Structure 1
Amino acid sequence: MTTFLLIIIYLAFISLGLPDSLLGAAWPVMQSDLGARLDTAGFLFMTIAGGTIISSLVSGKVLKRFGTGKVAFVSVLMTACALLGFHFAPSVGWLVVCAIPLGLGAGAVDAGLNDYVAVHYKAHHMSWLHCFWGVGATLGPIIMAQFISDQNSWRNGYFAISGIQFALVIILFLTLPLWNRVEKNRNNDKNKAPEDSYDQDAKNVQPLQIKGVKLALATFLFYCGVEATVGLWGSSFLVNVKELPAALAAQWVSFYYGGITVGRFITGFITFKISNLALIRTGQIIALVGAAFLFLPLPSIFSLVGFILIGLGLAPIFPCMLHETPTRFGKKHSQTIMGYQMAVAYTGTTFMPPLLGFIASQSTIGIFPICIVIFVAVMLLSSEKLNSLLKKKYLI
């Protein structure tokens, strides 16, 4: 039963990744078709991200009230309807309207499924879960490109992706009794089992008041700041500073994403032998070394090595930090804290890359490697301070 449910969760994460990269892939055609300005895509992206942040923040209460299965069903239904709305949207205004449920649906299901896997499954499943998100994020542009090249129709691309989402909606609806059964068993086990020390301490404490939560949130903020900033501005850095051709620069950045996806697949096997904490620390150090390769005045080929190292280093950090949430802060508040973590993560993704872009526009894109080094260093320091704080609590 749990294995079948895990397959459903993997499928849900593929569907979660599918829409994430669609807008960027389709926008060149969408812009001319709708007569929109170039920067409208950024506004749409921020609208989606805003909805995701809001739903992540309230996901803890919603999940406790309705359960993971129902929330996943309604959330995927919202994203499917929103994508279908993109297909029919006659103007940019309607795209903005559809972007709201697209973001709201993504945030709730993301936080819910991450918490569910963190509580019920081993660490390797969390790494593979986020590897499947990468599969979805990779397939989205491929599907869209197929429709654009064959039919010159971004609308049919959105229609096809919405169809995949609706298929998952049907699967989630049919498996609702299974989710309810597992949730019921979980509640029975919680009633029988003694509370862990964190749950005992946290009875009358708000999630943000638990020691270490704010440090964890800072780690998530700078992790996603690094991940999104490298993806958005890496190619511009290579073209304008390293003087590489645009096509080659794009290829080198794709190796960065490949490093994340392949790294997470490999991490799933490594978790059988190495703890989450060791993987997080090792990944942060590798990412810092990769950032140093970008910062130092080395031949251009070292920039490729830097991008690959940053990708490989980032690979285990996000899933391992998520999986540690109930262990670090107790199962009582794990759903709420998971929602906060996802909200802060999306905040980093949404605002830190544009911030670097604004600073670079006032100076030079040459500040890119300096910012990446600083972001990774702050992430590492926040994580190590959190580990030190939790170690003292365990010793006490």
Structure 2
Amino acid sequence: MENQRMNSILLLFVVFGGFFIFGLSENVKGPALPVMQSEFKLHESQLGFLLALNSFGYLLACSFTSNLSNKIGIKWIGILAFASMTLSGIFMFLSKGYTSLTLSYFMLYLGNGILEIGLGIMAARIFTKNTGTMMNLAHFFYGLSSIGAPILGASMMGWNVLNGELDWRGMYLMVLSLSILPIIPSFFGRFPEEHQKDGESTSFRNLIRDPIAWKIVAILSFGVVSEISIGSWLVYYLENAYDWSLNRASGMLSSFFLFFTLSRLFAGPITDKIGYTLSIMFFSAFSGVSSLAAIFSGEKGAILFAIAGIGIAPIYPTVMALLAKQYSKGVGTAITFTVTLLGISSIMGNLLVGFIIDFFNRVWGQRSAGGELIGLQAGYVFIAGLAILCSVCSVSLYKTLRNLNKVEGKVKGSEIGF
């Protein structure tokens, strides 16, 4: 019993620590990018290519991580991810030009992609009880480190080390060297392998023909693209729609992430009690309605943009919990299938927001003094609409699961009028 308890502690350290380091590695780039651009005299297109490697490495990792975990085990997937992130920090520290920097970034984002899929599979196998609570708690650590990462990165770059500034190279080296820490308990921990159950194993062919799988993909895509778009466009909206200063607009974005992170800390037990599908339905609707109310109430209702974070935060971890329950035999394949399609949707999502703003600005910009505001509002209505669509798809999924007697949670559909 004592050995089992110690093993559980080791596995929790790997999962929670992994999500925390994942958040740091993804979000310290904010203060570093302008310095990199200045040092290497990069054009915006070169900087854009550097950032595009994020999505490419993510999608590439999705293509092989699940199969690789079946061959070498989930323990070694985690170790591979942490080791590649550590090595990328060393290569980044040694980079002398754009080519070496690009290769270092590619290794980092590939490691991040392997880690995200690996942690998802790992958590699904470890958190067999109170799955919604534990999934949300794990992702809370990602949100927690994401809040502090830009501030930490900027501060570390100015540290005086060995009679010189640490700068972006030293900062990345130190931050990514933290990836070594979860490797230690990974070696000693005993990770649960996939449980073999009666019935046909989940495969990509089965998922492609499964309407439940496609509805889950739609739910996750609409919800996460809305989440990402808020992070990408909120500051831009507040600056241009209300003439807010950069500091004031950034403060509202920080408030959004604060609500977002706290929601992941406290929403988990709710998802376990009422069920994952119902939870997604209610939370995503709350986010969409809050964003719409913020748009149409004007500047005085701007705080509602931040409050929308309460609703959008639980979507991703709760969908992971849903996948773990619906596809317990082959959860790695289900996560890979869903997250790969999510990656494609995420690329398209931000492009669509920008296109909608530009389109409405061109159509109405010349006709009225408020033309630019109309374009911004249209773009943000689209972001809010994605959250509403997430809720609508959840209703459809709930009805399908109810007909198949696969609904999870203690609250039945009849109790809420379905």
Shift in CA distance, 72/266, structure 1 to aligned 2, threshold 3 Å: same
Q: Identify the residue that residue 312 of structure 1 maps to in structure 2.
A: 310
For 1:134, the aligned partner's letter is: G
Q: Is the 8 A contact 2:133 2:268 kept in 1?
A: yes
Q: State the 1:248 CA deviation.
A: 0.9
1:342/1:203 CA distance change after superposition, 3 Å: closer
- Match of 1:331, SS state, is coil
Identity rate, percent: 19
Unpaired runs of at least 5, structure 2: 1-6, 160-164, 362-374, 408-418
> What is the RMSD of the two structures over their aligned residues, measured on CA atoms?
2.3
Name the amino acid aligned to 1:149.
Answer: G
Q: Do the aligned partners of residues 93 and 243 (structure 1) sit closer, same or farther apart at CA in structure 2, a change above 3 Å counting?
A: same
For CA contacts below 8 A with separation 6 or more, give which structure has more relative contact order.
1
Q: Which residue of structure 2 aligns with residue 208 of structure 1? A: 208
User: How many residues are treated as equivalent by the alignment?
Assistant: 379
Deviation at 1:271, TM superposition (A): 4.2
1:8 maps to amino acid: V
Q: Matches of 2:356 and 2:349 in 1, distance apart?
A: 11
Kindly indicate whether the alpha-carbon contact (under 8 Å) linking 1:79 and 1:102 is maintained by their aligned counterparts in 2.
Answer: yes
Q: Is the 8 A contact 1:234 1:253 kept in 2?
A: yes
Cα deviation for residue 203 of structure 1 reads: 7.8
**2:302 match: secondary structure:** helix
Return the match for 2:123 from 99, 117, 128.
Answer: 117
- Aligned pair partner of 1:56 in 41, 55, 62: 62
CA contact (8 A) 1:224 1:346 kept: no
Matched, 1:128 2:137: yes
After TM superposition, the score normalised by the length of structure 2 is 0.84
Amino acid at match of 1:210: D
| Correspondence 1:140 to 2:149 | yes
Task: Label 1:367 to 1:149 Cα distance change in 2 as closer, same or farther (>3 A).
Answer: farther
- Output the CA distance in 1 between the equivalents of 2:249 and 2:51: 24
Partner of 1:283: 283
The equivalent residue for 1:97 is 103
The 8 Å contact of residues 202 and 333 in structure 2, kept in 1 or not, is answered as no
Deviates more, 1:61-70 or 1:116-125: 116-125
For residues 2 and 289 of structure 1, what CA distance do their matches in structure 2 show?
40
Counterparts of 1:377 and 1:125, CA distance in 2:
26
TM superposition shift of 1:395: 7.7
Cα distance in structure 1, aligned partners of 2:226 and 2:207: 26
TM-score by length of 1: 0.88
Gap change, CA 1:157 and 1:253, over 3 Å in 2: same
**Partners in 2 of 1:203 and 1:302 — Cα distance?**
47
Matched letter for residue 292 of structure 2: A
Instruction: Answer yes or no: is the 8 Å Cα contact 2:312–2:387 preserved in 1.
Output: no
Question: Which SS does the other structure have where 2:405 is aligned?
Answer: helix
Q: Deviations over 1:145-180 (max 9, x none)?
A: 1122332611111011122113333443x326x23x
How many angstroms apart in 2 are the aligned matches of 1:284 and 1:224? Answer: 10
Q: Which residue of 1 aligns with 2:410?
A: none
Per the TM alignment, residue 289 of structure 1 is displaced from its structure 2 partner at its CA by: 1.2
Distance of 1:202 and 1:50 partners within structure 2: 26
The question of whether the paired residues in 2 share the 8 Å contact of 1:60 and 1:335 is answered with: yes
* Paired letter, 1:11: G
2:354 & 2:225 partners in 1: Cα distance? Answer: 12
Looking at structure 1, the residues matched to 200 and 139 of structure 2 have their Cα atoms a distance apart, in angstroms, of 31
1:211 Cα offset (Å): 2.8
Residue of structure 2 aligned with 1:175, choices 188, 200, 211 = 188
